[in-house]
């Protein structure tokens, strides 16, 4: 594997870090403050894109950069490989669109504490990108905790009793998970003298007893509660008290993606698929993922609040990623990696649509959405694309990642797991398609055609509608062969090709 030392990973992190302090300095000038957010998001995307071109040209090579030594054999260091780039590109590209959406959302609702909001948002992206580019467990832990702390004020933003409770619950779960993550990282270091991510893993069957290695894996799973696998999931629906752009950040861009990204790193780069198979840990992870996929979908069906239904959908969809990597087969792991960016674009589309509906109409519940599709056609078209993709149907990219996952179950010769993914996809149809039907074919009452009697309902601000339209379009673009989708699939295949036994 070719390694190139470059300061680019640090430059990518300096974009949101610098923006955060410029946002504070411009607190009394909203236009300038929000310009810093947009400028930083575009600059970060360009830096990440430059790393993509290098890694792709090196056909699986990596970009490295070390800052300083933390422990013997462990540096605060960055390593940008094909898998890390999938997450980094997802976060960087969606930050641009969510920043634009946030401007329309926060101004339309005349939200308070907007400077704090943009400041914390920048730090959250810093944490997410740091997780994506970490070279080892301890570097990842630092950025994992930055992400947790930065998103707490965003979850509690409204400062209502409900929001403050959601913030406390969020912090309790994720700081507790951080303790497990740190403990597991230090145990790994004590066993092998390093915490570096390496293709094929760093642990071996001789590093400790089988039972110790299995307990260590459970500690890592508890350390990544951000992935919201059941039963450690209840913080996520509760966090829907946050503003909609924050919900989109939690579900599609940063927080829960950091959790599943971390578990994939543990499986493929700390344990390695060979050791996972020897210990039978793939079966454990597949069982957790299968239970979460089905159960969360059943919970979603029962929700009338649109954001809460989307929250349970996220819990289910994230476990598709765990499900794929648990198969320990090339097609399954490829599907898991592809589902990180593909789910990101589809789910952020759904949340941005929910926020636009709320801002334009004041409606938060599915039962209130009769006829909204005829009044807000752009928003509901985008929602329909995202929903179709979540169900794994073309022309949205969820079809591609779920196809790889299904092929992975056949590679593993496990028809029971194939049944799980097909049943889960059917449940996606059950809880998403009634929303589409109500929106386009339901008949609203006369009183429901205005936003609380203030004005007639119409599409939200272009700052909001344009980003959700773009994410919906890309959700379809990724589904068909073209240079953009080819690059993403190539990155996933490059990442899988270096994983030894896969």
Percentage of the chain lying above the pLDDT 90 cut:
81
Cβ–Cβ contacts within 10 Å for residue 29, how many?
11
Mean pLDDT in residue range 391-409: 95
Q: How confident is the model at residue 49 (pLDDT cuts 50, 70, 90)?
A: very high
More confident position, 252 or 441: 441
The Cα 63–Cα 49 span in angstroms is 13
Residue 455 inside a domain? The answer is yes
Cβ(292)–Cβ(400) under 8 Å?
A: no
The Cα 434–Cα 430 span in angstroms is 7
- Rounded to whole angstroms, what are the CA distances from 429 to 247, 444, 461? 22, 23, 30
The predicted pLDDT at position 192 comes to 94
Segment 300-353, tens digit of pLDDT: 999 999 999 999 999 999 999 999 999 999 999 999 999 999 999 999 999 999
Q: How confident is the model at residue 207 (pLDDT cuts 50, 70, 90)?
A: confident
Percentage of the chain lying above the pLDDT 70 cut:
97
Mean pLDDT in residue range 434-451: 81
CA angle 457, 458, 464 (to 5 degrees): 120
The Cα 93–Cα 44 span in angstroms is 9
Which tokens is 162 given? 């409900």
Closest CA to 265 of 187, 344, 321, 341: 321
The predicted pLDDT at position 455 comes to 62
The predicted pLDDT at position 61 comes to 82
The predicted pLDDT at position 208 comes to 87
Q: How is 99-110 classified by DSSP, letter by letter?
A: HHHHHHHHHHTT
Mean pLDDT in residue range 194-219: 93
- Across the chain, mean pLDDT equals 92
Which tokens is 354 given? 């929910």
Residue 8 inside a domain? The answer is yes
Asked whether the predicted pLDDT for residue 176 surpasses 80, the reply is yes
The predicted pLDDT at position 502 comes to 60
The predicted pLDDT at position 451 comes to 66
Residue 368 inside a domain? The answer is yes
The predicted pLDDT at position 452 comes to 62
Q: How confident is the model at residue 500 (pLDDT cuts 50, 70, 90)?
A: low
Sheet holding 62-71, edge to edge: 3-5, 62-71, 74-80
Count how many residues are written for the chain: 502
Which tokens is 124 given? 């959250």
The DSSP call for residue 456 is B
Residue 502 inside a domain? The answer is no
- Rounded to whole angstroms, what are the CA distances from 143 to 37, 187, 272, 301? 20, 19, 23, 35
The DSSP call for residue 478 is T
Residue 343 inside a domain? The answer is yes
Residue 151 φ then ψ, to 5°: -90, -15
Segment 213-246, tens digit of pLDDT: 999 999 999 999 988 999 999 999 998 888 888 8
The region, left, alpha or beta by phi > 0 then psi within -120 to 50, assigned to residue 452 is left
- Rounded to whole angstroms, what are the CA distances from 301 to 179, 208, 242, 316, 433? 34, 44, 22, 12, 11
Asked whether the predicted pLDDT for residue 498 surpasses 80, the reply is no
Number of domain units in the chain: 1
Torsion, Cα 238 240 243 245, to 10 degrees, reads 130
Q: How confident is the model at residue 251 (pLDDT cuts 50, 70, 90)?
A: low
Segment 149-161, tens digit of pLDDT: 999 999 999 889 9
The predicted pLDDT at position 467 comes to 94
The DSSP call for residue 7 is S
Closest CA to 322 of 364, 289, 369: 289
Residue 104 inside a domain? The answer is yes
Least confident stretch, 49-58, 114-123, 356-365, 392-401: 49-58
Cβ(259)–Cβ(288) under 8 Å?
A: no
Write down the residue that tokens 């401007």 correspond to: 103
The predicted pLDDT at position 111 comes to 87
Residue 246 inside a domain? The answer is yes
Positive or negative CA dihedral for 258, 261, 266, 270? negative
The predicted pLDDT at position 256 comes to 86
Domain region containing 131: 3-497
Q: How is 351-398 classified by DSSP, letter by letter?
A: HHHHHHHHHHH---BGGG-TTHHHHSHHHHHHHHHHHHHHTT-TTSTH
> pTM for this structure?
0.94
Cβ(339)–Cβ(405) under 8 Å?
A: yes
Asked whether the predicted pLDDT for residue 101 surpasses 80, the reply is yes
Which tokens is 156 given? 């509690």
The Cα 75–Cα 135 span in angstroms is 8
Residue 271 inside a domain? The answer is yes
């Amino acid at each position: 594997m070719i390694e190139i030392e470059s300061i680019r990973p640090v430059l990518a992190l300096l974009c949101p870090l610098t923006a955060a302090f410029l946002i504070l300095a411009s607190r009394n000038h909203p236009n300038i403050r929000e310009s810093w957010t947009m400028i930083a998001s575009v600059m970060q995307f360009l830096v990440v894109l430059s790393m993509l071109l290098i890694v792709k040209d090196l056909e699986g090579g990596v970009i490295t950069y070390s800052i300083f030594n933390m422990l013997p054999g462990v540096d605060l260091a960055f390593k940008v490989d094909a898998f890390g780039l999938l997450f980094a590109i997802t976060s960087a590209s969606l930050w641009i669109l969510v920043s634009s959406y946030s401007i329309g959302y926060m101004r339309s609702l005349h939200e308070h504490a907007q400077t704090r909001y943009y400041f914390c948002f920048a730090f959250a992206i810093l944490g997410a990108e740091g997780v994506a580019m970490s070279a080892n467990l301890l570097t990842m832990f630092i950025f994992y905790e930055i992400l947790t702390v930065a998103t707490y004020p965003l979850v509690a933003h409204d400062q209502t009793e409900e929001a403050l409770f959601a913030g406390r619950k969020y912090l309790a779960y994720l700081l507790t998970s951080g303790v497990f993550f740190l403990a597991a990282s230090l145990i790994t270091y004590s066993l092998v003298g390093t915490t570096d991510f390496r293709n094929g893993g760093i642990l071996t069957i001789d590093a400790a007893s089988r039972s110790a290695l299995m307990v260590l894996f459970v500690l890592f799973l508890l350390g990544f509660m951000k992935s919201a696998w059941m039963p450690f999931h209840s913080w996520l629906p509760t966090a829907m008290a946050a503003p909609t752009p924050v919900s989109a950040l939690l579900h599609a861009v940063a927080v829960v993606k950091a959790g599943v990204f971390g578990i994939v790193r543990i499986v493929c780069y700390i344990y390695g698929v060979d050791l996972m198979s020897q210990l039978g840990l793939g079966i454990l992870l597949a069982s957790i993922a299968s239970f979460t996929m089905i159960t969360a979908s059943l919970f979603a069906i029962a929700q009338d609040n649109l954001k809460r239904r989307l929250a349970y959908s996220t819990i289910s969809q994230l476990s598709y990623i765990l499900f794929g990597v648990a198969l320990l087969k090339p097609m399954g792991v490829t599907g898991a990696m592809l589902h990180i960016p593909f789910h990101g674009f589809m789910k952020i589309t759904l949340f941005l649509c929910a926020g636009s509906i709320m801002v334009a109409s004041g409606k938060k519940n599915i039962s209130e959405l009769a006829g909204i599709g005829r009044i807000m056609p752009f928003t509901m078209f985008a929602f329909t694309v995202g929903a179709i993709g979540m169900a794994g149907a073309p022309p949205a990219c969820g079809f591609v990642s779920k196809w790889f996952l299904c092929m992975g179950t056949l590679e593993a010769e496990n028809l029971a797991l194939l049944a799980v993914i097909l049943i889960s996809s059917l449940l996606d149809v059950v809880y998403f398609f009634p929303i589409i039907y109500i929106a386009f074919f339901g008949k609203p009452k006369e009183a429901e055609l205005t936003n609380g009697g203030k004005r007639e309902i119409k599409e939200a601000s272009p700052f909001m509608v344009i980003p959700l339209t773009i994410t919906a379009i890309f959700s379809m673009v990724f589904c068909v062969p073209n240079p953009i989708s080819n690059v993403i699939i190539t990155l996933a295949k490059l990442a899988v090709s270096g994983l030894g036994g896969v």
